[in-house]
Amino acid sequence: MKFRRRTDRATSLNRSLPRSIALAGLLLTIAVTGLNLWTMREAWRDTLIQSEQMAVNLSLSQARQADDTILQTELSLREVQHQLLSQMATGVNGAALSDTMQELASRLPQLHGLFYYDGTGKWIATSERQIPKGINNADREYFHFHRQNPRDSIHIGPVIRSRSTGELVIPVSLRVNDAAGGFNGVLLATIRVDYFRHYYSYYELGPQDVLVLMLADSTVLYARPMPDSYIGKNLSSSHLFQAMLASSDKGSGQWRAALDGQARIFGFARSERYGLVVAAGYDKHTLLRNWIKGQVEDVMLDLALLLGIVLLGAYVLSQARRSLRYQQELTRLRDELTAVNLSLENLAHADGLTGLANRREFDLFLQQSLLDAAQQGQPVSLILMDIDYFKRYNDTYGHVAGDACLQAVAAALKGLALRASDKVARYGGEEFAIILPGATGADALSIAGAAVKAVSARNIPHNSSSIAAHVTLSAGCATFQPESDRPEPQALIEQADEALYLAKHGGRNQARRSA
Ligand SMILES: Nc1nc2c(ncn2[C@@H]2O[C@H](COP(=O)(O)OP(=O)(O)OP(=O)(O)O)[C@@H](O)[C@H]2O)c(=O)[nH]1
């Protein structure tokens, strides 16, 4: 029973342990994968936030740079305006103005040229070497603007192509008034678009990233890396002008560019002085591609770690299985050994022919019973029994039949109504004994009589017996009295033997008690 319980437990452990280890491995894998995905998601978010921040910073610096460029240009125009006003009273000196303009234009790299046109659009002075013939600028946007707006403030117009050099330029202009405040022409400074093209090329932007400079009304002055055909486009319906700039002068976000429909991370800023707008946009797909490239190493490392965990788990699993198998085998061997030991122990105390306690067990049991009885003040009775004329039985029926007869007698004795504490033994040869702890002499005589009857009742044929046609038994009993006797086995055996002698000489097939 014990053996089976242990085996069952080992078997169920053998089944549940791999399951537990596999489950733990699965949970660990899910946890590591989840953690990685979460970390990657956070890293991508950080990349987007950083890109937006970079775009805002780039826009702010470019808006500031655009303001500075225009301010330098305005200062040059103001200087020319100052000289022009001082000439008004005496008459405008175009040559002197042109000299001043040349001097000023040579100082500023962004300047394409400086010009003064009178109220009819005619060229009066220029920083260029000579005034081209037959050209009138009254049709230009800035000319119309100043003619209609009396304000003495800088006007920045959309990009135009220079009539003198053919270059794309940004016109920055001032109105010139006569003494009465009437329109008296326009002072113009033109800034090369190439100046911004060159300046923006310093920044390391990807082929899909954009940097756009716009007028306050959303007209494109320059868009990197778009071709010049994008210059002059109006972006007033774009998300930038419709939503973002409506609420703030600087900021960032993600939207599709109105220029080409590409999704980008944008930063934007409006310049403080002249209201120019700069937008910097990083291509989202390029950003994602670069980010993935950056993550590959981490992902590979994590996958290697995961693989390591799985392999380790498999190794632990196989070791656990092997150890369980060893444990099961050991348990089985131990239980077998225990069973063998038990049967050996039984054999050492049992008689091989009859299964009754053997002589050795009889001696030990009798000695212990006497000691216990002496201590507890209880009697112990002993019955010695001998089969009558057994030699003749052997001689008549043979030795094998004699063995069978001994077994039948033993069975008859085992069938007696005895207490659990009583012990039936084969004393030797054809002699048997019963030790009865706590039994009085009368009790013993009664049981001895029952034994004689039980054997007789078996009716085992014995033709050569002188007293009956069947096998009979003679019994003698003796009792240890704790108050008078010494607990010596030999003494008790001798007394019982004497009683047996009495039974034999009294005619056999009977029980006698020692005197
Ligand atoms: N078959 C068989 N015979 C045994 C065994 N042990 C002892 N014997 C025989 O038992 C017989 C005992 O004979 P005896 O001691 O002369 O006594 P008895 O013939 O029983 O005569 P009484 O005791 O006077 O009635 C002997 O012949 C033994 O050989 C055994 O294990 N098997």
Task: Indicate which atom in ligand 1 lies nearest the CA of residue 429.
Answer: 6
Task: Indicate which atom in ligand 1 lies nearest the CA of residue 401.
Answer: 1
Cite the beta strand spans of 215-350 per DSSP E.
220-224, 250-256, 263-270, 277-283
Give the pLDDT score at 399: 96
Dump pLDDT digits (tens) for 315-371: 888 888 888 889 989 999 999 999 998 888 878 899 999 999 999 999 999 999 999
The whole-angstrom separation of Cα 101 and Cα 79 is: 9
Whole-number percent of the chain with pLDDT over 70: 97
Give buried/exposed letters for 351-369 (b at 16+ CB in 10 A, else e).
beebebbbeebbbebbeeb
Q: What single letter denotes the amino acid at residue 168?
A: L
Q: Position of tokens 């756009």?
A: 212
Cα of 392 from ligand 1 centre, angstroms: 8
Compute the average pLDDT of residues 3-32. 69
Least confident residue range of 88-92, 119-123, 155-159: 88-92
| Structure tokens, 213 | 């400079």
Predicted confidence (pLDDT) at residue 10 exceeds the cutoff of 60:
no
Q: For the chain, what is the total number of helices (H) and then of strands (E)?
A: 12, 16
Cα of 466 from ligand 1 centre, angstroms: 15
Cα of 467 from ligand 1 centre, angstroms: 16
Cα of 462 from ligand 1 centre, angstroms: 14
312 three-class SS: helix
Region class of 185: left (phi > 0), else alpha (psi between -120 and 50), else beta? left
CB-ligand 1 contact for 504 (6 Å cutoff) = yes
Give the pLDDT score at 69: 96
Dump pLDDT digits (tens) for 398-429: 999 999 999 999 999 999 999 999 999 999 99
Dump pLDDT digits (tens) for 195-241: 999 999 888 888 999 999 999 999 999 999 999 999 999 999 999 99
How confident is the prediction for the chain on average, in pLDDT?
92
CB-ligand 1 contact for 368 (6 Å cutoff) = no
Give the pLDDT score at 15: 66
The whole-angstrom separation of Cα 344 and Cα 87 is: 140
Q: Name the closest-CA residue to atom 28, ligand 1.
A: 391
CB-ligand 1 contact for 351 (6 Å cutoff) = no
Q: Of the residues 430, 466, 467, 472, which should be mutated to test ligand 1's pocket, given the most ligand atoms within 8 Å of the CB? A: 430
Give the C-alpha distances (Å, rounded to integers) separating 245 from 180, 273, 321, 402.
40, 16, 69, 125
Task: Indicate which atom in ligand 1 lies nearest the CA of residue 400.
Answer: 1
Q: Of the residues 351, 391, 399, 452, which should be mutated to test ligand 1's pocket, given the most ligand atoms within 8 Å of the CB? A: 391
Cα of 409 from ligand 1 centre, angstroms: 13
Q: Of the residues 393, 394, 474, 509, which should be mutated to test ligand 1's pocket, given the most ligand atoms within 8 Å of the CB? A: 394
CB-ligand 1 contact for 430 (6 Å cutoff) = yes
Dump pLDDT digits (tens) for 58-74: 999 999 999 999 999 99
Predicted confidence (pLDDT) at residue 192 exceeds the cutoff of 90:
yes
Give the C-alpha distances (Å, rounded to integers) separating 172 from 131, 221, 222, 429, 478.
19, 12, 15, 142, 146
Residue pair 32/305 in contact (Cβ under 8 Å)? The answer is yes
Dump pLDDT digits (tens) for 268-326: 999 999 999 999 999 999 989 888 888 888 888 888 888 888 888 888 888 888 888 89
Q: Name the closest-CA residue to atom 26, ligand 1.
A: 391
Cα of 429 from ligand 1 centre, angstroms: 6
Residue pair 84/116 in contact (Cβ under 8 Å)? The answer is yes
Could you give the domains of the chain?
A: 359-513 (3.30.70.270)
The whole-angstrom separation of Cα 420 and Cα 67 is: 118
Cα of 48 from ligand 1 centre, angstroms: 111
Ordered strands of the 220-224 beta sheet: 220-224, 210-214, 277-283, 263-270, 250-256
Q: Crossing angle for the helix pair 2-88 and 94-107, nearest 10 degrees?
A: 160
Predicted confidence (pLDDT) at residue 149 exceeds the cutoff of 70:
yes
Cα of 442 from ligand 1 centre, angstroms: 29
The whole-angstrom separation of Cα 144 and Cα 146 is: 6
- Within a 10 A sphere around the Cβ of 399, how many other Cβ atoms? 10
Q: What single letter denotes the amino acid at residue 323?
A: S
Compute the average pLDDT of residues 92-101. 92
Give the pLDDT score at 280: 96
CB-ligand 1 contact for 328 (6 Å cutoff) = no
Predicted confidence (pLDDT) at residue 16 exceeds the cutoff of 80:
no
Please, which pLDDT band fits residue 14 given cuts at 50, 70 and 90? Answer: low
Dump pLDDT digits (tens) for 431-486: 999 999 999 999 999 999 999 999 999 999 999 999 999 999 999 999 999 999 99
| Structure tokens, 11 | 């078997």
Predicted confidence (pLDDT) at residue 21 exceeds the cutoff of 50:
yes
Dump pLDDT digits (tens) for 232-247: 999 999 999 999 999 9
Task: Indicate which atom in ligand 1 lies nearest the CA of residue 394.
Answer: 1
119 three-class SS: coil
- Within a 10 A sphere around the Cβ of 444, how many other Cβ atoms? 28
The whole-angstrom separation of Cα 42 and Cα 47 is: 9
Q: Name the closest-CA residue to atom 11, ligand 1.
A: 391
Give the pLDDT score at 2: 42
Residue 210 makes CB contacts below 8 A (sequence gap 6+) with: 223, 224, 225, 226, 257, 259, 264, 279, 280, 281
Q: Name the closest-CA residue to atom 8, ligand 1.
A: 429
| Rounded CA Rg of the chain | 63
Task: Indicate which atom in ligand 1 lies nearest the CA of residue 428.
Answer: 6
Cα of 381 from ligand 1 centre, angstroms: 25
CB-ligand 1 contact for 321 (6 Å cutoff) = no
Predicted confidence (pLDDT) at residue 35 exceeds the cutoff of 90:
no
Residue pair 486/502 in contact (Cβ under 8 Å)? The answer is no
Predicted confidence (pLDDT) at residue 83 exceeds the cutoff of 50:
yes
The whole-angstrom separation of Cα 268 and Cα 262 is: 16
pTM metric for this prediction? 0.58
Predicted confidence (pLDDT) at residue 4 exceeds the cutoff of 50:
no
Cα of 50 from ligand 1 centre, angstroms: 112
The dihedral sign for the CA sequence 161, 167, 169, 171? negative
Q: Name the closest-CA residue to atom 7, ligand 1.
A: 429
Q: Name the closest-CA residue to atom 4, ligand 1.
A: 429
Give the C-alpha distances (Å, rounded to integers) separating 356 from 348, 410, 413.
11, 7, 9
